[in-house]
């Protein structure tokens, strides 16, 4: 069974209440330059590719009402796919966060997308983990394939959008841009990158690895017009990557290291039991019952982006491919 990577409510890092969040800024002397509007057709280097992806990846946080212990924090990662303000993430980032918050007494959960500020427009300032936080709503969820569509309440691509962060007499722009989706499954051995916000790290983390295997799983699909309880089995493709992912990575993009095209969404890791030197499995006593102690196997489970494309098509949302 997969270990899903959404952050638990009880373990999440509290989010700041303001719409604009800047975690670290160094300001010797500064001047503002115009935002670059042109987008490169192809990155010239790995650093450029990651910088481009940073402009598309969002940090998904949440707040609850009424306030409950640990009622605000980081839920996971997502990425922008449409200039109409739509993003994709893993469905469990939304559903697990809601379920855990409501179990703690929350009546409602508000999700927020953290879009990176364009630090390149102020070359003499050093920003780390700087976001404009925009409330977002859930448009649609494919629970069977673990994919969700979010809609930002304010379109960061609109020429009328304001970041709310002013340096001198000019406003600091956002880095927002969309990704390109590639439906074809990558071959085994193909190099991949994954970007996201794992654990409590406040800045974008990018890791690399390869496609370890193309696998599959069995899921249950609701049949159109049938009762909700009537479902039929279906085989769904999976990608295994030899990359260690952690809570907070869920919903982040897996993309090709040569083109930057997104081929999958982070679902979680394949857990393995902790074993003793003699091969025995370590057991823990939890709530009066014995449970196997599990660990991260180092294999990430990736949801092929073709299922995200199908959900976007279903909702008539445009995207680049």
What is the CATH number for 95?
Answer: 2.40.10.10
Q: How confident is the model at residue 126 (pLDDT cuts 50, 70, 90)?
A: low
Residue 37 lies in a domain: no
Query: How far from the centroid of its chain's Cα atoms is residue 141's Cα?
Result: 15
Residue 185 lies in a domain: no
Same domain, 307 and 245: yes
Q: How much is the pTM?
A: 0.81
- pLDDT per residue as tens digits for the range 158-167: 877 777 777 7
Point out the least confidently predicted range of 14-28, 97-111, 151-165, 192-206.
14-28
Question: What would the mean pLDDT of 185-195 be, rounded to a whole number?
Answer: 97
Residue 244 lies in a domain: yes
pLDDT(276) > 60: yes
CA separation for the pair 321, 124 (Å, rounded): 36
262 versus 20: the higher-pLDDT residue is 262
Residue-number span of the structural domain to which 49 is assigned: 3-24+44-179
Same domain, 88 and 115: yes
Q: How many structural domains compose the chain?
A: 2
Distances (CA, A) of 143 to 20, 32, 95, 169, 213: 31, 44, 9, 46, 23
- pLDDT per residue as tens digits for the range 299-318: 999 999 999 999 999 999 99
Choose the final residue of a domain: 179, 212, 239.
179
Same domain, 55 and 171: yes
Q: How confident is the model at residue 219 (pLDDT cuts 50, 70, 90)?
A: confident
Question: What would the mean pLDDT of 150-170 be, rounded to a whole number?
Answer: 81
Same domain, 218 and 247: yes
Task: Give the per-residue pLDDT at 146.
Answer: 97
Cα atoms in the Cβ-side hemisphere of radius 13 Å centred on 31: 1
Phi/psi of residue 254, each to 5°?
-100, 125
Same domain, 296 and 203: yes
């Amino acid at each position: 069974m997969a270990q899903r990577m959404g952050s638990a409510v009880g373990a999440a890092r509290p989010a700041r209440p303001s719409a604009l969040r800047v975690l670290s800024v160094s300001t010797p002397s500064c001047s503002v330059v115009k935002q670059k509007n042109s987008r490169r057709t192809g990155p010239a280097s790995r650093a450029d590719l990651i910088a481009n992806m940073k402009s598309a990846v969002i940090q998904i946080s949440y707040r609850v009402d009424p306030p409950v212990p640990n009622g605000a924090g980081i839920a996971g990662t997502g990425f922008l796919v449409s200039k109409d303000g739509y993003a994709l993430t893993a469905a469990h980032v939304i559903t697990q966060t809601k379920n855990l918050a409501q179990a703690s007494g929350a009546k409602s959960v508000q999700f927020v997308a953290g879009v990176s500020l364009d630090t390149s427009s102020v070359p003499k300032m050093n920003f780390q983990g700087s976001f404009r936080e925009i409330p977002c709503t859930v448009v649609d969820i494919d629970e069977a394939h673990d994919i969700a569509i979010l809609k930002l309440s304010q379109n960061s691509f609109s020429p009328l959008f304001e970041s709310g962060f002013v340096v001198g007499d000019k406003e600091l722009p956002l880095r927002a841009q969309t990704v390109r989706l590639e439906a074809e499954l990558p071959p085994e051995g193909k190099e991949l990158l994954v970007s996201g916000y794992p654990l409590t790290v406040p800045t974008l983390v990018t890791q690399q690895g390869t496609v370890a295997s193309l696998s599959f799983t069995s899921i249950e699909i609701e049949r159109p017009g049938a009762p909700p309880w009537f479902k039929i089995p279906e085989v769904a493709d999976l990608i295994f990557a030899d990359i260690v992912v952690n809570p907070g990575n869920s919903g982040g993009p897996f993309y090709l290291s040569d083109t930057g095209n997104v081929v999958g969404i982070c679902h979680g890791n394949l857990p393995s039991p902790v074993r003793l030197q003699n091969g025995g499995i370590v057991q823990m006593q939890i709530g009066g019952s014995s449970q196997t102690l599990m660990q991260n196997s180092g294999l990430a489970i990736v949801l092929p982006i073709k299922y995200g494309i199908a959900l976007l098509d279903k909702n008539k949302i445009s995207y680049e491919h």
